[in-house]
Protein backbone atom coordinates (compact mmCIF):
# COMPACT_ATOMS: atom_id res chain seq x y z
CA UNK A 1 0.00 0.00 0.00
CA UNK A 2 1.37 3.43 -0.97
CA UNK A 3 1.26 6.35 1.45
CA UNK A 4 -0.42 9.65 0.60
CA UNK A 5 1.78 11.87 -1.54
CA UNK A 6 3.89 8.89 -2.74
CA UNK A 7 3.68 7.36 -6.23
CA UNK A 8 5.47 4.16 -7.28
CA UNK A 9 6.50 3.48 -10.90
CA UNK A 10 7.59 -0.01 -11.99
CA UNK A 11 9.98 -0.42 -14.95
CA UNK A 12 10.33 -3.35 -17.33
CA UNK A 13 12.91 -5.20 -15.17
CA UNK A 14 10.53 -5.19 -12.25
CA UNK A 15 12.37 -2.60 -10.20
CA UNK A 16 10.29 0.24 -8.82
CA UNK A 17 11.08 3.89 -8.42
CA UNK A 18 9.31 5.86 -5.72
CA UNK A 19 8.49 9.51 -6.43
CA UNK A 20 7.24 11.64 -3.59
CA UNK A 21 5.08 14.72 -4.30
CA UNK A 22 4.95 17.63 -1.94
CA UNK A 23 1.55 19.29 -1.35
CA UNK A 24 1.03 22.75 -2.83
CA UNK A 25 1.39 25.69 -0.49
CA UNK A 26 0.04 29.22 -0.69
CA UNK A 27 3.47 30.36 -1.78
CA UNK A 28 3.37 27.92 -4.71
CA UNK A 29 0.02 29.34 -5.89
CA UNK A 30 1.34 32.87 -5.49
CA UNK A 31 4.35 32.05 -7.63
CA UNK A 32 2.08 30.47 -10.24
CA UNK A 33 -0.05 33.63 -10.40
CA UNK A 34 3.06 35.78 -10.64
CA UNK A 35 4.32 33.72 -13.54
CA UNK A 36 1.00 34.05 -15.39
CA UNK A 37 0.00 37.50 -14.15
CA UNK A 38 -0.84 38.75 -17.63
CA UNK A 39 -3.45 36.03 -18.17
CA UNK A 40 -4.93 36.68 -14.74
CA UNK A 41 -5.24 40.42 -15.44
CA UNK A 42 -6.86 39.79 -18.83
CA UNK A 43 -9.43 37.39 -17.33
CA UNK A 44 -10.19 39.85 -14.53
CA UNK A 45 -10.71 42.73 -16.97
CA UNK A 46 -13.01 40.62 -19.17
CA UNK A 47 -15.17 39.56 -16.22
CA UNK A 48 -15.26 43.13 -14.88
CA UNK A 49 -16.26 44.53 -18.28
CA UNK A 50 -19.04 41.95 -18.67
CA UNK A 51 -20.36 42.77 -15.19
CA UNK A 52 -20.41 46.49 -15.93
CA UNK A 53 -22.07 45.90 -19.30
CA UNK A 54 -24.78 43.73 -17.77
CA UNK A 55 -25.44 46.25 -15.00
CA UNK A 56 -25.83 49.05 -17.56
CA UNK A 57 -27.94 47.14 -20.09
CA UNK A 58 -30.11 45.19 -17.62
CA UNK A 59 -33.76 46.21 -17.69
CA UNK A 60 -35.25 47.49 -14.45
CA UNK A 61 -38.35 45.61 -13.33
CA UNK A 62 -41.07 47.53 -11.51
CA UNK A 63 -43.77 46.01 -9.35
CA UNK A 64 -47.26 47.37 -8.78
CA UNK A 65 -49.77 46.14 -6.21
CA UNK A 66 -53.45 46.74 -5.64
CA UNK A 67 -55.61 45.36 -2.85
CA UNK A 68 -59.25 44.30 -2.94
CA UNK A 69 -61.54 43.45 -0.06
CA UNK A 70 -63.52 40.29 -0.76
CA UNK A 71 -66.58 39.83 1.43
CA UNK A 72 -68.46 36.53 1.24
CA UNK A 73 -72.15 37.09 0.39
CA UNK A 74 -74.68 36.58 3.14
CA UNK A 75 -76.62 34.45 0.69
CA UNK A 76 -80.24 34.49 -0.42
CA UNK A 77 -83.21 32.18 -0.26
CA UNK A 78 -81.84 30.25 -3.24
CA UNK A 79 -78.27 29.77 -2.02
CA UNK A 80 -78.70 29.54 1.75
CA UNK A 81 -78.58 25.70 1.82
CA UNK A 82 -75.44 25.73 -0.33
CA UNK A 83 -73.68 28.22 1.93
CA UNK A 84 -74.52 26.10 4.96
CA UNK A 85 -72.91 23.10 3.29
CA UNK A 86 -69.73 25.06 2.61
CA UNK A 87 -69.24 25.66 6.31
CA UNK A 88 -69.22 28.73 8.47
CA UNK A 89 -66.78 31.29 9.79
CA UNK A 90 -63.23 31.44 8.48
CA UNK A 91 -63.39 28.25 6.43
CA UNK A 92 -66.35 29.53 4.42
CA UNK A 93 -64.66 32.90 3.87
CA UNK A 94 -61.35 31.33 2.79
CA UNK A 95 -63.12 28.99 0.39
CA UNK A 96 -65.12 31.82 -1.12
CA UNK A 97 -61.97 33.95 -1.59
CA UNK A 98 -60.16 30.97 -3.16
CA UNK A 99 -63.03 30.62 -5.63
CA UNK A 100 -62.84 34.33 -6.45
CA UNK A 101 -59.08 34.11 -7.06
CA UNK A 102 -59.68 31.15 -9.37
CA UNK A 103 -62.29 33.23 -11.21
CA UNK A 104 -59.86 36.13 -11.63
CA UNK A 105 -57.29 33.76 -13.15
CA UNK A 106 -59.86 32.56 -15.66
CA UNK A 107 -59.13 33.15 -19.35
CA UNK A 108 -62.31 35.21 -19.71
CA UNK A 109 -61.13 37.73 -17.11
CA UNK A 110 -57.62 37.80 -18.57
CA UNK A 111 -58.91 38.47 -22.08
CA UNK A 112 -61.07 41.29 -20.76
CA UNK A 113 -58.06 42.78 -18.93
CA UNK A 114 -55.99 42.48 -22.11
CA UNK A 115 -58.66 44.37 -24.06
CA UNK A 116 -58.70 47.13 -21.42
CA UNK A 117 -54.90 47.48 -21.70
CA UNK A 118 -55.06 47.67 -25.50
CA UNK A 119 -57.85 50.26 -25.36
CA UNK A 120 -55.83 52.32 -22.86
CA UNK A 121 -52.84 52.33 -25.19
CA UNK A 122 -54.98 53.38 -28.15
CA UNK A 123 -56.44 56.25 -26.12
CA UNK A 124 -53.08 57.45 -24.75
CA UNK A 125 -51.03 56.80 -27.87
CA UNK A 126 -47.78 56.92 -25.86
CA UNK A 127 -45.74 53.88 -26.79
CA UNK A 128 -42.90 54.69 -24.41
CA UNK A 129 -45.19 54.02 -21.43
CA UNK A 130 -45.74 50.40 -22.47
CA UNK A 131 -43.38 47.48 -22.86
CA UNK A 132 -44.83 44.01 -22.45
CA UNK A 133 -47.73 44.44 -24.85
CA UNK A 134 -45.36 44.86 -27.81
CA UNK A 135 -43.29 42.28 -29.64
CA UNK A 136 -39.62 42.85 -28.83
CA UNK A 137 -37.19 44.24 -31.38
CA UNK A 138 -33.55 43.83 -30.37
CA UNK A 139 -32.43 46.59 -32.74
CA UNK A 140 -34.93 49.23 -31.68
CA UNK A 141 -36.64 49.18 -28.30
CA UNK A 142 -39.25 51.71 -29.42
CA UNK A 143 -40.41 49.56 -32.34
CA UNK A 144 -42.44 46.39 -32.41
CA UNK A 145 -45.99 45.39 -33.24
CA UNK A 146 -48.81 45.40 -30.72
CA UNK A 147 -49.62 41.91 -29.48
CA UNK A 148 -53.09 40.44 -29.88
CA UNK A 149 -55.50 40.32 -26.95
CA UNK A 150 -55.16 36.53 -26.69
CA UNK A 151 -51.36 36.75 -26.63
CA UNK A 152 -51.48 39.40 -23.91
CA UNK A 153 -54.02 37.31 -21.97
CA UNK A 154 -51.65 34.33 -22.00
CA UNK A 155 -48.76 36.58 -20.97
CA UNK A 156 -50.70 37.83 -17.94
CA UNK A 157 -50.46 34.36 -16.38
CA UNK A 158 -46.71 34.85 -15.97
CA UNK A 159 -46.51 38.49 -14.86
CA UNK A 160 -49.55 38.76 -12.56
CA UNK A 161 -49.98 37.00 -9.24
CA UNK A 162 -53.17 37.03 -7.15
CA UNK A 163 -52.98 35.91 -3.53
CA UNK A 164 -55.01 36.20 -0.37
CA UNK A 165 -53.58 38.25 2.47
CA UNK A 166 -53.10 35.73 5.30
CA UNK A 167 -55.98 35.69 7.81
CA UNK A 168 -57.70 38.64 6.12
CA UNK A 169 -60.55 39.04 3.61
CA UNK A 170 -58.23 40.86 1.21
CA UNK A 171 -56.47 39.79 -1.96
CA UNK A 172 -53.35 41.35 -3.46
CA UNK A 173 -52.95 41.73 -7.21
CA UNK A 174 -49.27 42.08 -8.08
CA UNK A 175 -47.87 42.83 -11.55
CA UNK A 176 -44.29 43.18 -12.79
CA UNK A 177 -43.21 45.12 -15.86
CA UNK A 178 -40.23 47.12 -17.17
CA UNK A 179 -42.65 50.07 -17.29
CA UNK A 180 -44.02 51.32 -13.94
CA UNK A 181 -47.03 52.83 -15.71
CA UNK A 182 -47.82 49.55 -17.45
CA UNK A 183 -47.47 47.54 -14.22
CA UNK A 184 -49.85 49.90 -12.41
CA UNK A 185 -52.30 49.88 -15.33
CA UNK A 186 -52.46 46.08 -15.46
CA UNK A 187 -52.98 45.72 -11.70
CA UNK A 188 -55.74 48.34 -11.66
CA UNK A 189 -57.33 46.85 -14.79
CA UNK A 190 -57.58 43.50 -13.02
CA UNK A 191 -59.34 45.14 -10.07
CA UNK A 192 -61.76 47.08 -12.29
CA UNK A 193 -62.61 44.08 -14.47
CA UNK A 194 -63.26 41.95 -11.40
CA UNK A 195 -65.55 44.59 -9.89
CA UNK A 196 -67.47 44.80 -13.17
CA UNK A 197 -67.71 41.02 -13.42
CA UNK A 198 -68.82 40.74 -9.79
CA UNK A 199 -71.45 43.45 -10.28
CA UNK A 200 -72.92 41.66 -13.30
CA UNK A 201 -72.94 38.39 -11.39
CA UNK A 202 -74.77 40.02 -8.46
CA UNK A 203 -77.34 41.47 -10.86
CA UNK A 204 -77.92 38.01 -12.30
CA UNK A 205 -78.46 36.66 -8.80
CA UNK A 206 -80.95 39.43 -8.04
CA UNK A 207 -82.81 38.63 -11.28
CA UNK A 208 -82.90 34.96 -10.33
CA UNK A 209 -84.32 35.80 -6.91
CA UNK A 210 -86.97 38.08 -8.43
CA UNK A 211 -87.93 35.40 -10.92
CA UNK A 212 -88.11 32.83 -8.14
CA UNK A 213 -90.33 35.08 -6.02
CA UNK A 214 -92.61 35.80 -8.98
CA UNK A 215 -92.99 32.08 -9.62
CA UNK A 216 -93.74 31.46 -5.96
CA UNK A 217 -96.29 34.26 -5.99
CA UNK A 218 -98.00 32.79 -9.04
CA UNK A 219 -98.05 29.33 -7.49
CA UNK A 220 -99.58 30.67 -4.29
CA UNK A 221 -102.15 32.61 -6.29
CA UNK A 222 -103.03 29.49 -8.27
CA UNK A 223 -103.31 27.51 -5.05
CA UNK A 224 -105.71 30.11 -3.64
CA UNK A 225 -107.76 30.18 -6.83
CA UNK A 226 -108.31 26.43 -6.82
CA UNK A 227 -110.47 26.29 -3.62
CA UNK A 228 -112.45 29.28 -4.86
CA UNK A 229 -113.13 27.51 -8.14
CA UNK A 230 -114.25 24.39 -6.28
CA UNK A 231 -116.57 26.41 -4.05
CA UNK A 232 -117.96 28.23 -7.08
CA UNK A 233 -118.49 24.95 -8.92
CA UNK A 234 -120.31 23.46 -5.92
CA UNK A 235 -122.45 26.59 -5.58
CA UNK A 236 -123.41 26.49 -9.26
CA UNK A 237 -124.23 22.81 -9.04
CA UNK A 238 -126.36 23.38 -5.92
CA UNK A 239 -128.20 26.24 -7.63
CA UNK A 240 -128.83 24.07 -10.65
CA UNK A 241 -130.30 21.31 -8.51
CA UNK A 242 -132.45 23.85 -6.73
CA UNK A 243 -133.88 25.17 -10.02
CA UNK A 244 -134.44 21.62 -11.20
CA UNK A 245 -136.49 20.80 -8.09
CA UNK A 246 -138.56 23.97 -8.50
CA UNK A 247 -139.35 23.12 -12.09
CA UNK A 248 -140.44 19.63 -11.06
CA UNK A 249 -142.85 21.09 -8.50
DSSP for 6-74, please give it.
Answer: EEEEE-TTS-EEEEEPPPP-HHHHHHHHHHTHHHHHHHHHHHHHHHHHHHHHPPP-EEEEEEEE-----
Q: Are 50 and 171 in a shared domain?
A: no
For helices 107-124 and 149-159, give the axis angle rounded to 10 degrees: 110
What domain range includes position 22? 6-57
Tell me, what's the pLDDT at 238? 66
How many domains are there within the chain?
2
Is 120 within the bounds of a domain?
Answer: yes
pTM listed for this prediction? 0.61
Residues 51 and 71 in one domain: no
Q: Are residues 77 and 146 located together in one domain of the fold?
A: yes
* Residues 46 and 145 occupy one common structural domain: no
Domain membership of residue 163 (yes or no) is yes
Residue 142 sits in the same domain as residue 53: no
Same domain (yes/no): 18, 101: no
69/100 same-domain check: yes
Q: Are residues 34 and 150 in the same domain?
A: no
pLDDT digits (tens, 9 = 90+) for 109-147: 999 999 999 999 999 888 888 989 998 765 555 557 889
Same domain (yes/no): 107, 44? no
pLDDT at 191: 92
Sign of CA dihedral 157, 130, 70, 212: negative
Bridge-based pairing of strands 170-177 and 160-164 is: antiparallel
Does some domain include residue 88? yes
Would 222 be classed as within a structural domain?
Answer: no
**pLDDT by position in tens, the chain (length 249):** 444 444 444 444 555 555 555 667 777 777 787 788 888 888 888 998 888 887 777 778 899 999 998 877 665 545 544 445 445 555 778 888 888 899 889 899 999 999 999 999 999 888 888 989 998 765 555 557 889 989 999 999 999 999 998 888 899 999 999 999 999 999 999 999 999 988 887 777 777 777 777 776 666 666 666 666 666 666 766 666 666 665 555
Is residue 83 one of the residues assigned to a domain?
yes
132 vs 146: CA distance, rounded Å:
9
The neighbouring-strand residues paired with 17 are 9
**Whether 125 and 147 share a structural domain:** yes
Query: Are both 146 and 132 inside the same structural domain?
Result: yes
Query: Is the same domain home to 12 and 72?
Result: no
pLDDT for 245 = 61
- Residue 72 inside a domain? The answer is yes
**pLDDT of res. 185:** 94
Amino acid sequence: MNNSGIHANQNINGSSKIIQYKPKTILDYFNMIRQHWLHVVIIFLIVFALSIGYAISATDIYQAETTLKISPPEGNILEAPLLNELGSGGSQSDRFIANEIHTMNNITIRERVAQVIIDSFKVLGQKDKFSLIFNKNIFNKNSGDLKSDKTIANMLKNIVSINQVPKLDFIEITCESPSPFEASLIANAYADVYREFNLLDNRKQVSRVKEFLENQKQHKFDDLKQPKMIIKFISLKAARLNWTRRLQI
